[in-house]
Structure 1
Amino acid sequence: MSKSSPGTAVLRRAVARNGRRLWTGTALASVYQLCAALVPVLIGVVVDRAVATGDVGALLIWITVLALVYLVLVVTYRHGARRLQRAIAEEGHRLRVEVAARILDPRVLRTDRPTGDLLAISNTDADYTSYLLDHIPRITSALVAVTVSAVTLLLISAPLGLTVLVAIPIVLAVLNLTAPLIARRVKEQQDQAGRATALATDLVTGLRPLRGIGAQDTGAERYRQVSRHSLAATLRASRTQNGYLSAATTLSALLTGGIAIMAGWFALTGRITVDQFITVIGSAQFLIEPFGVLSVVPSWTAAARGAADRVAAVTQAGVTLPPPAAAPGGIECDLRLTDVTYGPLAGLDLHVRPGEFVGVVADRPADAEALARVLAVPDSYKGDILLGGERLETVDRGRARRLLHTEPHRTDLFTGTLTSNIAIHDDHGGRLAEALRAAAADEVAHLHPEGLHMPVTERGANLSGGQRQRVAFARALLAGPPLLVLHDPTTAVDAVTEQAMADGIRALRHGPGACYGTVVITSSPTLLAAADRVVFIGDGSVTAEGSHAELVTHDDRYRRAVLR
């Protein structure tokens, strides 16, 4: 395993934290192979001490010894396999959890890998990496078996034993030359599979819009091309590995066959006895398995290293946001952006006071997306974004997200029920009903016989776009953060529902005595009319501010933006 490989640390950690089960299982597997290697020796002894002499007592004794060896063989295999399988399963689970935790890190993982590729890493690559805990005992026990057999052959005939001791390192050295090629091919295979998974995820998610514009055939053709690349990579990796296995099997068979031929010649010339010949033939047949294991070591190592490298690319990746500093002080639901430059935004100033409902209209969609993005992930911007007087990126992410929640335009729903997609806990009482009414999501529940227990399929595929928006809207309202930022929350609903949702924001978050702040990034006249104040962003900075009615009357650019 290359010391420079980024997956080395992942593999070492897997060995270290499963040490007890791994080394116990390895010891038991080694005893199993030791017993298996002794079987042909004991058969030769039975022939020499009992069969050749006709001694019935000796026959019974050595058959009993052979039976005890088989008993130890069976017991050690069973208990060793149980410990190792548990270690493999638990390590695979730990790696999946670690990858998922890194992906969901509140500080935001710094990666350009698509969602589907991350999903493949958290599943397939995590499993391939955990298989190292299977490879180590197999390799160790195979070495024990080969060593015992080689010593046995040395005691019978020095040329036979030396053949084994010299030939095996040569065979392994030759086969190991292919390890880098196998590692590259396996990594390429996993990368291409991840791309295909990512594209499939995107296509399934956007299947309804694609059908709406008649682009499903184009999407299918794109997936077909990516799938072909994935298939080609899989075939290249399979050819390489199968070629390797063919060569390894052939060399192992030639080596064991050569030992058997030498033993036959030695028996014919009187250099070894009949019982020794039987032992050699039995050992030669037995050695096929450990030879096969040792010959595929480079392939196993390459596959585990390639998978561990992909896991390490996620678990060791940096994060977008810096470590947390102190918790915000002052008025926690006060948000101030000063001279912020981020993407297309240039010198943006925005102040949201406690209890204020602010509408934001951007002349360019990219400005709206950039504002929502920088409030959700305050990274690589210039200027100041202050939450309660503290820079947003230095606030502990858990606390910052409780104080400021940004609901993106594209939201995700999960497999479950309407209730489980809206409420994290079951103890919201009347607040859940209020959030449902405010988001007009109660109508979604009323349309189904099971009401709030209506099943929701993966990504909310059984709901329309407007229904998904209302459910996500209700979820954001129920969370009740002091500052809530909504990006185009009503683009898929009708005018009546949109008015009900605008009234719901006002009623639930801006009633008497409330200090909640709400920012709605939208071009919807209905939502903007409900806001206390509207800010218009033109060319990346604020160019106008006032009520919706004032801006519609006096600002031509604003009027074109909201009435187009």
Structure 2
Amino acid sequence: MSLDAGGVLRRTIRDQRGRVAAGVAFLCLHQASEAMVPVAIGLTIDRAVATSDIGALLIALAGLALLFTVLAFAWRIGARFGVVAVEHETHRMRLEIAGRALDPRGQRSGMRDGELLSVTASDTEHAALVVQASSMILAACTALIVSAIALLVVDPVLGGGVLLGVPLVLLGLQRLGPLITRRGEAQQEALASATATAVDLVAGLRVLRGLGAQDHAARRYATASSAALAGTLHAARAKGMQQGVTTAINGLLLAVIAGVAGWFAIQGRITIGELVAVVGLAQFVAEPVQALGWCLQLLATAKASAARVARVLGAAPLVGSGSAAAPPVAPDRLVLTGIGHGGLDGLSLRVAAGEVVGIMVYEPKHAESLVAVLAGTVPREDYRGEIRVDGVPVEELDLAAARGVVLVEPHDVTLFEGTLRDNIAAGVPDERIDAAVRAAAADDIVASQPDGLDQVLTERGANLSGGQRQRVALARALAAASPVLVLHDPATAVDAVTESLIAERLVAARAGESRATVVVTSSPALLGVADRVAVLDDGRIVAEGAHEELAASDPRYREAVLR
């Protein structure tokens, strides 16, 4: 889907057209009523005060009271419609971006997690302000038109001056719009970069403390924050210049209109009441002109943020999806033929139903490439060869169907705020949770918690140790009971006794004629319980056999796994 900043802004107006229309109607009524206040005061002076007519004065006062009541309620109702429209559209865009971020196909925006967070939290709100800006522009134009008509009625020269002068003022202010947009884009990008840096540093805080690299991390964030500050000040200078120019031009326009009206009153061309009306209108005209200048600034900011929203919403999926449903179980559940990606070069492997296959990889980067390909996070054009799931090329399968058969649990553990049960369950029955916890040798973790499975975890499971987080993640993978399970180094943070226990229980938990399990690891305990071990070297499988046989015949293998 092709989407640009203009498309986001037009869609926002279109989707909120009901609220926008209602808000515009009431705001225009408010501005027209405000424009009529000086006219009403001028008429009161000429028709009631100058003539000492008490009846006319009472009628005029009642009319003014009605006029102020209308403009007060019109503003409240119109502003309410505008605020509700902005909040609804902001919420909708945030849900859309969250949906794109969580899309199992991934997305090609190229933004880091922190940048996506900034777009979701900040840019969506700024982009939605186009609703408020457009409503206020129409309301301000209504005020100017009513004021110009009133001035034309008083004197054609005064009305013509406003009708000619205001468009020239707006044309001049419009020239500053692109500058504000460019600086707004730079500001938002710098803020997003600082947010992304902060998210990265917080995520790796434990590692940084362990390495003693806090000072370096602080300097890195300070640099990103300084860039964000510079971008913000740069954008503020452009906005300040625009506001200053708008105020100066407003003052000149007011002075010219008031001066000409005063001269006409001295000559007797207009009455005192008309002079008061003209001066009041001239002073009032400054407000909608100022509002138009502010709205142009708001539109420039909205356009800059809309471009970043469009970058996410318009990004193509990272991986494709076929349409075929999950096929029937085949003798070979997973077949890789001639896979080339990253360090992989012609890798071929078969995993049969009922089999536990260990893959020992000498180069960690090759293991990461293999896991990424199996996880379906690599675009089809970025790897060579073919992957078949139950005999069907994976690109022909519906993505949900493919991932319903093959589940990949990565080495990097991700836990969420919530209970242990929530982190493991994913909608499975309680009895399956208990079995998965035991199979992952995580029953001692549950037993040690005051609330058991209902123990609340902090962000990223920070109140658990590394080994405990790893076992909780393994329990989650086992609870899913996927037909084909791929594990990447699931026991690197546990002691040797626990590692052996996991290996023993893992095989029992994955027993079944239709299930297949792949464990990418160098753990001797896990490799020892595998039905077959495939050795990955230089991007391809170079040897296969039982763990004991390989350890006895291959010195390099023995050195890599026996520790």
Alignment partner, residue 555 of structure 2: 556
Alignment partner, residue 50 of structure 2: 52
1:174 aligns with 2:172: yes
SS at 2:233's partner residue?
Answer: helix
> Quick one: distance in 1 between partners of 2:461 and 2:507?
27
Deviates more, 1:305-314 or 1:435-444: 435-444
1:432 aligns with 2:433: yes
Deviation at residue 264 of structure 1 after TM alignment: 2.3
Question: Residues 163-199 of structure 1: CA distance to partner in whole angstroms, max 9, x if unpaired?
Answer: 2212211122112112222111111111111111111
1:466 aligns with 2:467: yes
Amino acid at match of 2:493: A
SS at 2:324's partner residue?
Answer: coil
Contact 2:351–2:516 at 8 Å: present in 1 too? Answer: yes
Alignment partner, residue 410 of structure 2: 408
> Quick one: distance in 2 between partners of 1:428 and 1:209?
36
Question: Residues 96-150 of structure 1: CA distance to partner in whole angstroms, max 9, x if unpaired?
Answer: 1111111222222123211100111112111111111111110000000011001
> Quick one: distance in 2 between partners of 1:328 and 1:266?
86
Query: Normalising by the residue count of structure 1, what TM-score does the alignment of the two structures yield?
Result: 0.95
SS at 1:296's partner residue?
Answer: helix
Deviation at residue 5 of structure 1 after TM alignment: 8.5
Q: 5+ unaligned residues in a row in structure 1: which ranges?
A: none
Equivalences for residues 123-162 of structure 1 within 5 A: 123-162=121-160
Equivalent position to 1:99, from 97, 100, 104: 97
Alignment partner, residue 443 of structure 2: 442
Equivalent position to 1:78, from 66, 76, 79: 76
Alignment partner, residue 337 of structure 2: 338
Alignment partner, residue 383 of structure 2: 381
> Quick one: distance in 2 between partners of 1:309 and 1:223?
25
Alignment partner, residue 423 of structure 1: 425
Question: Quick one: percent identity of the two aligned structures?
Answer: 46
Question: Residues 391-429 of structure 1: CA distance to partner in whole angstroms, max 9, x if unpaired?
Answer: 11231111222111111111321121211111123x612
Contact 2:329–2:514 at 8 Å: present in 1 too? Answer: no
Contact 1:14–1:130 at 8 Å: present in 2 too? Answer: yes
> Quick one: distance in 2 between partners of 1:562 and 1:173?
74
1:255 aligns with 2:253: yes
Contact 2:337–2:349 at 8 Å: present in 1 too? Answer: yes
Amino acid at match of 1:270: G
Question: Residues 490-545 of structure 1: CA distance to partner in whole angstroms, max 9, x if unpaired?
Answer: 222222222222223112112xx452211111111111112111111000000011
Contact 1:7–1:305 at 8 Å: present in 2 too? Answer: yes
Amino acid at match of 1:416: G
Deviates more, 1:266-275 or 1:139-148: 266-275
1:539 aligns with 2:541: no
Contact 2:136–2:295 at 8 Å: present in 1 too? Answer: no
> Quick one: distance in 2 between partners of 1:428 and 1:359?
29
> Quick one: distance in 1 between partners of 2:502 and 2:290?
68
> Quick one: distance in 2 between partners of 1:334 and 1:231?
55
Equivalences for residues 295-374 of structure 1 within 5 A: 295-331=293-329, 334-374=333-373
> Quick one: distance in 2 between partners of 1:203 and 1:33?
50
Contact 1:359–1:528 at 8 Å: present in 2 too? Answer: yes
Contact 1:32–1:73 at 8 Å: present in 2 too? Answer: yes
SS at 1:405's partner residue?
Answer: strand
Contact 2:3–2:311 at 8 Å: present in 1 too? Answer: no
SS at 1:414's partner residue?
Answer: coil
Amino acid at match of 1:159: V
> Quick one: distance in 1 between partners of 2:372 and 2:531?
23
Contact 1:252–1:292 at 8 Å: present in 2 too? Answer: yes
Deviates more, 1:369-378 or 1:456-465: 456-465
> Quick one: distance in 2 between partners of 1:40 and 1:410?
69
> Quick one: distance in 2 between partners of 1:5 and 1:413?
34
1:26 aligns with 2:24: yes
Contact 1:107–1:321 at 8 Å: present in 2 too? Answer: yes
What is the Cα-based RMSD across aligned positions, in Å?
1.7
Deviation at residue 29 of structure 1 after TM alignment: 0.9
Q: 5+ unaligned residues in a row in structure 2: which ranges?
A: none
Q: 1:159 to 1:563 in 2, by over 3 A?
A: farther
Number of positions where the alignment pairs a residue of Structure 1 with one of Structure 2: 558
Over 3 Å off, 4+ runs: none
Contact 2:3–2:314 at 8 Å: present in 1 too? Answer: no
Amino acid at match of 1:357: V
Equivalent position to 2:196, from 195, 198, 201: 198
SS at 2:360's partner residue?
Answer: strand
Contact 1:482–1:515 at 8 Å: present in 2 too? Answer: yes
Amino acid at match of 2:507: R
> Quick one: distance in 2 between partners of 1:430 and 1:401?
23
Alignment partner, residue 229 of structure 2: 231
Q: 1:161 to 1:474 in 2, by over 3 A?
A: same
Deviates more, 1:212-221 or 1:254-263: 254-263
Query: Normalising by the residue count of structure 2, what TM-score does the alignment of the two structures yield?
Result: 0.96
Deviates more, 1:181-190 or 1:251-260: 251-260
> Quick one: distance in 2 between partners of 1:371 and 1:50?
90
> Quick one: distance in 2 between partners of 1:559 and 1:362?
13
> Quick one: distance in 2 between partners of 1:229 and 1:549?
57
Q: 1:174 to 1:481 in 2, by over 3 A?
A: same
Deviation at residue 243 of structure 1 after TM alignment: 1.7
Alignment partner, residue 519 of structure 2: 520
Contact 1:29–1:76 at 8 Å: present in 2 too? Answer: yes
Deviation at residue 339 of structure 1 after TM alignment: 0.7
Contact 1:414–1:457 at 8 Å: present in 2 too? Answer: yes
Amino acid at match of 2:359: V
Contact 1:378–1:393 at 8 Å: present in 2 too? Answer: no
> Quick one: distance in 1 between partners of 2:282 and 2:503?
82
